[in-house]
Amino acid sequence: MNTPITIIGAGPAGLLLTHYLLRRGYTNIEIYESRQDPRLSSPDTQRTFPLALQARGRQALSKIENLEEKIAQKGTFCQGTLLHSQKGKTRSIPRKKPLLTIDRSVLSYILLEELFQGNNQSKLKIHFNHKCININSQEKSISFEIENQQITNKKYNILIGADGSNSQVRHYLESLSSFKCTKKCATRCL
């Protein structure tokens, strides 16, 4: 399928979605990411945090050939979770199936590297250092701030927002009167 698809966000969600789109036969995918290419800098210098992949996350990875195995090689399996409350109490949550914990940067790096295996290079373009600053659905265009605070515009056909918790795509959708969105801050997870 040659329908052009534009994805905002090259984190784990955007990259895994791209794997699935390629598997389904899409051949014209462009990803825009505000950060620099993680392959160009040491993981030590990147802002990152550990992720715990439960059964559903691992199942999503397992649908792409060899992906779960490659990620498992860089992660750690955990048989349970230990929660610490603000009062110093701990609570253990045993797991029937082990969690796979992995650093977010390492996960993104592997997902990105695996995208360019085989003949995917002609089907996929990734633009780093492109911060989405505006979406115009009337003109089907997106504005990006790139290096040196220059602004560039891109037309889109299908737009997918995978740009995280402070999503510019979601902010735009929230501004539409025809779109209802509710978000809640999870302040008490324990």
Dump pLDDT digits (tens) for 47-96. Answer: 678 899 988 999 999 999 999 999 999 999 999 888 888 898 999 988 88
- Total count of domains within the chain: 1
Query: For residue 155, what is the domain's CATH number?
Result: 3.50.50.60
Is 149 part of a structural domain of the chain? yes
Going by pLDDT thresholds of 50, 70 and 90, the confidence category of residue 186 is low
Is 180 part of a structural domain of the chain? no
**DSSP strands (E only) in the chain:** 5-8, 29-32, 50-53, 76-84, 90-103, 124-127, 131-136, 141-145, 151-155, 158-161
For residue 48, what are the domain limits?
Answer: 5-175
Provide the token pair at 90.
């701990």
Is 188 part of a structural domain of the chain? no
The secondary element (H helix, E strand) that includes residue 18 is: helix 12-23
Q: How many C-beta neighbours within 10 Å does residue 131 have?
A: 16
Is 145 part of a structural domain of the chain? yes
Q: How many C-beta neighbours within 10 Å does residue 58 have?
A: 17
pLDDT value of residue 190: 46
Is 127 part of a structural domain of the chain? yes
| 125 pLDDT higher than 50 | yes
Mean of per-residue pLDDT scores for the chain? 89
b vs e for 137-170, b when ≥16 Cβ sit within 10 Å of the residue's Cβ?
Answer: eeeeebebbeeeeeeeebebeebbbbbbeebbbb
Contacts for 101 with CB less than 8 Å, ≥ 6 apart: 50, 51, 52, 53, 75, 76, 77, 78
3-state secondary structure of 110: helix
